[in-house]
Structure 1
């Protein structure tokens, strides 16, 4: 196992359990750090609490006593815990550093690290890059926001392997020295403002992916996204653009229906298996990273002609009586849903709704042309109903759960229609995760 190298903190408070908190607590203990774990919602009977206690780690649950930060050198917080948390506020007053477990990657001295962030497309791009490395038979690991705890993967990773890591703004905000060799900035959209408070804070968190890069590193960025273009002006790394709209002298582009990197034709876009305009951007970004890594174009083509997407991201579920069901449960914001709507020419029955973060949905209006019916659920159902009325959608139904939503959508549908779950909202009002929501959708479809 790899050891943390020059990690400067001896006494560590891990705030929040879940997967990352449990993993990082064990890593720190193995590296002879004094670890205390605190989780408000956990109980003494939880499996991970019992496991950590059996390892001799002190675990405090059900409360956030301020005495926990006495003598603490650093707090490693769960990415989703807001900085308004009482312990974090007190730590800020005492100048105690607050990091996320992603920061530990810096101290594992990984030789080759690719980091991917953006408001949308992270999971697909991360997976595409991973598959291209695998196709080229380059040893590779995948980690981060995609579901595998990055520090846990890094600890067991050999020196010859590349880590491809998906990074959220929540994870990046808690970094100080973290630096990928290749960073990818896909796009910036007004997302997670309930956590970051404003767009500037959100952008600053995202910019941390390239903040510590040097002229020896690479930054792949979206040349079609104005916010991204402005953000990368401060980068010290070599910038490599991608664009589906412009003809660039370098980088990855779509030109005359063909994908190029610099002046080399990679593939005719018609041969690409992955559908959706937004996925073209992900494909271009992944192609740029692969070419930077020296991956042969033959390996890139092999992936692009076979890869059809990741779970819960425009995932084809089933053809039922000539109705095509698609699961896009990972569309947890408005931009993701607009891109899903643009992916189909057929009439669409849209299933949407979820956690109310205070935003309206007016920006969806220009993309509702093909939507013939709305089936709505969750806290935002009434807001989305107003959107439907504004768009003069003839059939709108508010339902209580996913089974009702699928049944109602089928009733509204005709042969040739697309029935699309693309909620434009987080899932946390009714489901623990977007995966749970998507799985419920797919189960309901199969019951038909």
Structure 2
């Protein structure tokens, strides 16, 4: 761990507990900082608050009193989910008190090199791919950030023999000032979290902080097919590594003669990659570039790409039975996500869809149903989806009581070379506690068929 004397005797306010706040508080306390921790949850039953108090840390629960700002703070460490419109944070900004997230702390203390990955979509898939591709390399990959362990906690324990692979959100990056990854990845930029950032421009600026402090010794890997991302990357001082599913960029990642290439090196034939979808091809390109730059072997990369099933519940490959391939996309809780899933396949699809009725129609799903030969609906929206299927000209429309019953029914409707896809286009809460539970039911039902 790097020299932590910077934090000694600093007066720091941590706002928001959860995992990152709790880990950050313990860490900064161990560095000799003078801490106050503030959490809006009531003190009663707050286990994390109780543990911190036993360490001698002051904890203020139940509200965010502005008086916490009156003690000449050096800076605030904010939970990423707390918006800047929060009255306490808003007042801190007015008083010019620096506001960080624990990502800033992680970058300051880590002895390991860092691969930081951001984007509106695909972060988890790309981060997981990079972590897998770097196995058996010279350095030990440790996955952290939004997936895996809290970033600052991992950073404190890391050594020069490790490499941190971190999935980072705009919320986390917005609270950085000196954060400088050796390899940064910017996957894409879509309209999202505008209630938090206020505008697409501000959202993009927050994402672009991933490369703000990089220099010519670092790398920025970015999506050249995304105009917004490409524009934001013009000001980056790092070495540019573009990737594109459409064009060939010298020095980048591209497709040529049915194969994926990094710079002048063939990596793998596209036909060997098991993860479906053009959007996943972009994620794969980014992961390949980051992994090769960080020291991964071509052999390990090829092994991952020929076996990687996808992140669980996100277009996850579950298995094959008698020529039918099963995919679990239970995370698709809206029409946009189901459209993306359907676009990933050229084969005929048996679609399993349905769930919580939020009052919307499914007309926006119509253009994506061209390859759907049959649909099995379930849940509160079963009838609505059946009507949409009729409009799309789908002749085979069946209804099941739930996902468990939908799987064997879909199998009976299928033929060899078909895809059986759970992509509900709806939240799960009418029948299941979470989309994860719904996806697990799908997986279990597929295994029962086998």
The CA distance in 2 between the partners of 1:392 and 1:78, in whole Å, is 49
Does structure 2 conserve the Cα–Cα contact (< 8 Å) formed by 1:41 and 1:62? Answer: yes
1:186 Cα deviation from its structure 2 partner: 1.0
How has the CA–CA distance of structure 1 residues 405 and 309 changed in structure 2, closer, same or farther, with 3 Å as cutoff?
Answer: closer
Tell me the CA shift for residue 430 of structure 1.
Answer: 9.3
1:126 maps to what in 2?
A: 127
Are 2:159 and 1:161 equivalent residues in the alignment? no
CA contact (8 A) 1:3 1:155 kept: no
What TM-score results when the alignment is normalised by the length of structure 1?
0.85
Tell me the TM-score normalized by structure 2.
Answer: 0.85
State the partner residue of 2:178: 177
Q: Is the 8 A contact 2:110 2:155 kept in 1?
A: no
Structure 2 residue 112 is the aligned partner of structure 1 residue 114? no
CA distance in structure 1 between the partners assigned to 2:446 and 2:38 by the alignment: 40
Give me the whole-angstrom Cα distance separating, in 2, the residues matched to 1:7 and 1:381: 57
Query: How far apart are 1:275 and its partner, in Å?
Result: 2.7
Q: Which residue in 1 is equivalent to 2:402?
A: 404
Q: Which residue of 1 aligns with 2:66?
A: 66
Aligned partners of 2:87, 2:308: CA distance in 1, in Å? 45
Deviation for aligned residue 1:167: 0.8
Q: Report the 3-state secondary structure (helix = DSSP H, G, I; strand = E; otherwise coil) of the residue aligned with 1:179.
A: coil
Q: For residues 55 and 78 of structure 1, what CA distance do their matches in structure 2 show?
A: 20
Q: Mark the CA change 1:364 to 1:101 in structure 2 (over 3 Å): closer, same or farther.
A: farther
Task: Quote the residue 1:81 is aligned against.
Answer: 82
Bigger shift: residues 390-399 or 199-208? 390-399
Corresponding residue for residue 373 of structure 1: 375
Greater alpha carbon shift after TM alignment, 223-232 vs 1-10: 1-10
The worse-fitting range, judged by mean Cα deviation, of 417-426 and 24-33 is 417-426
User: Residue 353 of structure 2: which of 335, 339, 351 is its match?
Assistant: 351
> CA distance change for structure 1 residues 231 and 332 in 2, over 3 Å: closer, same or farther?
farther
Rg bigger for which structure? Answer: 2
Q: What SS is found at the alignment partner of 1:220?
A: strand
User: Which range moved further: 26-35 or 93-102?
Assistant: 93-102
Paired with 2:180 and 2:206, the residues of 1 have a C-alpha distance of: 14
1:369-406 CA-partner distances (Å, limit 9, x unpaired): 2344374768x99998997687566788999xxx7355
Question: Distance between the aligned counterparts of 2:443 and 2:11, measured in 1?
Answer: 46
* Structure 1 residues 42 and 140, CA gap change in structure 2 (3 angstroms): farther
2:48 counterpart of 1:48: yes
Residue pair 2:362, 2:388 contacting (<8 A) in 1 also: yes
CA contact (8 A) 2:134 2:295 kept: no
Q: Deviations over 1:311-357 (max 9, x none)?
A: 2221234668987543224446665433311222222324356797x
Within-5 A mapping of 1:247-326: 247-317=248-318, 325-326=326-327
Equivalent residue number for residue 415 of structure 1: 414
Kept after mapping to 2: 8 A contact 1:120/1:336? no
The unaligned stretches of length 5 or more in structure 2 are none
CA drift at 1:239: 0.5
Alignment of 1:206-221 (within 5 A): 206-221=207-222
2:94 matched to which residue of 1?
93
Assess if the C-alpha contact under 8 Å between 1:375 and 1:397 holds in 2: yes
Change (3 A) 1:137 1:160: closer
- Give the Å deviation of 1:304: 2.0
Note the 1:15-34 alignment, pairs <5 A. Answer: 15-34=15-34
Q: CA deviation at 1:224?
A: 1.6
Residue 219 of structure 1 and its aligned partner are, at CA, apart by: 0.5
Aligned with 1:310: secondary structure?
coil
SS of the equivalent of 2:317 reads strand
Cα distance in 1 for residues equivalent to 2:443 and 2:181: 36
Structure 1 residues without counterparts, runs of 5 or longer: none
Mapped to 2, the partners of 1:43 and 1:385 lie a distance apart of: 49
Alpha-carbon shift at residue 180 of structure 1 (Å):
0.8
Asked if 1:139 is matched to 2:127, the reply is no
CA contact (8 A) 2:173 2:207 kept: yes
Give the distance between the partners of 1:79 and 1:98, measured in 2 at CA: 11
Aligned length: 443
